[in-house]
Structure 1
Amino acid sequence: MQKKILITFLYKEGAGPVFTLEMARGLAQNGCEIHALLSSNIANKKDWVNEKAFKSVTFIETGTRKTAIQATMAFFFKEKLVLKRKFQNQTFDYIISTFYHPWSTTVFKCFKVTKTIVICHDPIHHSGVGLLEKWLTTHYIKAANDIIVLTQSFIPIVEKRFGYSKEHIHYMRHGRMSTYKQCAITPLTDCKNINFLFFGRIEDYKGLFILAEAYKKLTQSHPNISLTVAGSGDFSKYHSIFKELPRVKIVNQYIADKDIDDYFNVPNTILVLPYLDASQSGVIPIALEYGIPIIASNTGGLKEQMDNGNLGLFSIPGDSNSLMKQMEYFLKYPDFYAKERKKAFIYLQNLNWDIVTQKIIQI
């Protein structure tokens, strides 16, 4: 029997728009009837509008940072009533919320649905998350009938922390992010000149101080390396330490999807994730898509996300010497780079969305 699914995502940028679109396409490939409720400001709006595999796509105004209060008032006093009327004659098998949003639990109540499912990306909050956000995200997760985690080892954590029984917690792999790749992959040249890449939003838990210390030590014996740090967020506390480092490029701004190629399709690039703590990373699937080798901290679900440690190298969280040694490994053993690329492309076949979304259909 064909599943009728409403997918909701109410933010506009980051990895969420691509993750949600790819998942929706995977479910459609598996014969599901897909409807979507999205922010009118979503970054990949054109892709949603042009996708013929979906039954319907509805956009609502979520505002900007400057207009968030007005948009919230409009939603609670007008938009939710419009949604209820529009869908009053429809019943969905599932509502699937791919990412938390402050309106999410109210949105759930606007529809007739058999089961509400949320994807829990971070069952353990990152260091630095405020009390209000912790309370809101906990309330959001507890409002669902079933939970999807992207890391298998998080099942007992969700079971204990949120009070769900195991039959209501489901593991699904983080699928491919192939939409990001705009061009053919640049062929490998050599590994004499390595560029290390940090990519993503600037957050305290991501260990930029550790990366700076490790890179500084490495430059003392290896003049043929460079470092790129690209992402939005407050970089002010890191500015003084990074400005002293040689061959460093800082791009402190939001990186649009169309510009991803400029960072991941560069020969001899290695992604570095020096996180102090983490659940998983949306940057890992992007790197895999380009065949970019990865060095990550051995924390949270990062190792599981990298084929249970069969891909990449791992450092001790918060240890700059450990990170430096793993970065240096690629310089000492240049053949390792090509081997990692080959393994990444093979592993990607397990992450096709028509495969990974079968877990949802089995719920």
Structure 2
Amino acid sequence: MHRIDTLVWFWGRRGGGPVFALKFAAWLKELAGADQHLMLSISETNEELAAARNLDLPLAVEPDPRNAGSALAKAQAVLAMTGRFRRDIKRLAPRRVIIPMNFAFAWPLVHFVPRSSRVVYVVHDDTPHPGDYARRWQAETQKRLIARADRVLALSEAVAAEVATHHPRAVDRLKVLPINAFYADRPTSPRTADDIQRPLALLFVGRLIAYKGLSLLRAALEPLRERRDWQLTIAGHGPDKAYADEAFRDLPQVTLKTEWLSQAELQGLIASADMLVCPYVEASQSAIIPEGLALGTPSIVTPVGALPEQVGHGEAGIVAAAATAEALAEAIKGALDDRVQVHALQQRATAFILATRASTDLDGALA
């Protein structure tokens, strides 16, 4: 291995983290071209491994200790991984190491990164979401990563404000790099005028977990039960799968696809929907919203976290008046009753996210 300029380091396996890490690396490559020596370090179990290989970047694929077999073999694999990382990071001597999301082993292995290397850590959530796994571990390791980082990046103004409140010593190292800017990375074509007589195709997609507001969505749909001018697909997997399967099965307008989705499957569902529904009761920001914007699919969102910020406070989506079933029902009803508005939002979606990308200074954020 030769000395490199930037190491993007993420050993997570699945979900939004692998996708985001690849998008970060791809954007760096786009900005710097062949002049920057960039390397991506990912796990052998990363579900985006094939896509990573297609980036045409130097790639370090790390064996996953969880595949080692017995408990003793796993422990030996962790020790081997630690020694390997320590040697490689010393040999590579990167000018900066980017950790695009917290993951197992980011802390404490970050302490092997030499002080001559600038550590950039991306904060997705100031605190773990309700219903999330290992919340205490996530919070504690993130606190330590923020303390070690030379640059802390928040993916929205909303999260930056929370980080500044809870980590005041990080304020002078904190900058905002909007998550929307990472998803305007593929060519799209404007949506054509559609038959407004057909049912409006709505989509809830992503991890099925308490803070995503499935119970709020179910209550909001009850007043719309007798209408036949809408369809809703609920797609994804997570702790609330059993609830979703039970709560929505009596609504004939709802199709359940409660299973783990590949990135290609997720994008296919989004592209075929008219609008996304994000009924979150608590939020930082959502990667689903820019996935939709990039494909010309606007969102109906609740006014929590950075969700209104992500749709331009109504420019590229519909913001419910409150995070209540009544307000969400009114927002959905508004879309059903004004299909011309829906089409206008679809037309504005891609332009909105492209403008975000164009106005975002990645080099400045990393400086």
Same structural fold, with TM-score higher than 0.5 when normalized by the shorter chain: yes
Higher helix proportion: 2
Q: 1:121 aligns with which of 112, 117, 124?
A: 124
Percent of pairs identical after alignment?
Answer: 19
In 2, the alpha carbon distance for the partners of 1:166 and 1:136 equals 18
For 1:256-293, what per-residue CA distance to the aligned partner results, in whole angstroms no more than 9, with x for missing partners?
122124311225x2100000000000101110011112
Q: How do 1:292-331 and structure 2 match up within 5 A? A: 292-331=297-336
Seen in structure 2, the aligned counterparts of structure 1 residues 243 and 180 have a Cα distance that, compared at 3 Å, is: farther
Residue in structure 1 matched with residue 14 of structure 2 by the alignment = 13
Seen in structure 2, the aligned counterparts of structure 1 residues 349 and 238 have a Cα distance that, compared at 3 Å, is: closer
Residue in structure 2 matched with residue 26 of structure 1 by the alignment = 27
Please give the root-mean-square deviation of Cα atoms over the aligned residues, in Å.
2.8
Q: Could you tell me whether the CA contact under 8 Å between 1:105 and 1:143 is conserved in 2?
A: no
In 2, the alpha carbon distance for the partners of 1:67 and 1:276 equals 40
In 1, the alpha carbon distance for the partners of 2:262 and 2:24 equals 20
Relative to the length of structure 2, the TM-score reads: 0.87
In 1, the alpha carbon distance for the partners of 2:215 and 2:223 equals 13
Residue in structure 2 matched with residue 289 of structure 1 by the alignment = 294
Residue in structure 1 matched with residue 156 of structure 2 by the alignment = 151
Letter in 1 for 2:260: Y
Q: How do 1:50-129 and structure 2 match up within 5 A? A: 50-52=54-56, 54=57, 56-62=58-64, 73-112=75-114, 113-129=116-132
Q: Could you tell me whether the CA contact under 8 Å between 2:267 and 2:291 is conserved in 1?
A: no
Please report how far the alpha carbon of residue 305 of structure 1 lies from its aligned counterpart in structure 2 after TM superposition: 1.7
Q: Could you tell me whether the CA contact under 8 Å between 1:276 and 1:297 is conserved in 2?
A: yes
Seen in structure 2, the aligned counterparts of structure 1 residues 41 and 188 have a Cα distance that, compared at 3 Å, is: farther
Residue in structure 2 matched with residue 228 of structure 1 by the alignment = 233
In 1, the alpha carbon distance for the partners of 2:71 and 2:282 equals 32
Unaligned ranges ≥5, structure 1: none
Please report how far the alpha carbon of residue 176 of structure 1 lies from its aligned counterpart in structure 2 after TM superposition: 3.6
Seen in structure 2, the aligned counterparts of structure 1 residues 164 and 33 have a Cα distance that, compared at 3 Å, is: farther
Relative to the length of structure 1, the TM-score reads: 0.88
Q: Could you tell me whether the CA contact under 8 Å between 2:236 and 2:257 is conserved in 1?
A: yes
SS of corresponding position for 2:316: coil
In 2, the alpha carbon distance for the partners of 1:141 and 1:68 equals 34
For 1:36-86, what per-residue CA distance to the aligned partner results, in whole angstroms no more than 9, with x for missing partners?
11111112212322323x3x2111123559969678624531112122223
In 2, the alpha carbon distance for the partners of 1:152 and 1:355 equals 13
Seen in structure 2, the aligned counterparts of structure 1 residues 229 and 281 have a Cα distance that, compared at 3 Å, is: same
Unaligned ranges ≥5, structure 2: none
Residue in structure 2 matched with residue 38 of structure 1 by the alignment = 42
Seen in structure 2, the aligned counterparts of structure 1 residues 69 and 249 have a Cα distance that, compared at 3 Å, is: farther
In 2, the alpha carbon distance for the partners of 1:156 and 1:98 equals 19
SS of corresponding position for 1:109: helix
Residue in structure 1 matched with residue 209 of structure 2 by the alignment = 203
1:47 aligned onto 2:51: yes
Q: Which moved more, 1:269-278 or 1:24-33?
A: 24-33
In 1, the alpha carbon distance for the partners of 2:315 and 2:336 equals 20
Seen in structure 2, the aligned counterparts of structure 1 residues 350 and 179 have a Cα distance that, compared at 3 Å, is: closer
Seen in structure 2, the aligned counterparts of structure 1 residues 216 and 69 have a Cα distance that, compared at 3 Å, is: farther
Higher relative contact order (CA 8 A, sep 6+): 1
For 1:125-154, what per-residue CA distance to the aligned partner results, in whole angstroms no more than 9, with x for missing partners?
322343333323333333322210011243
Letter in 2 for 1:238: A
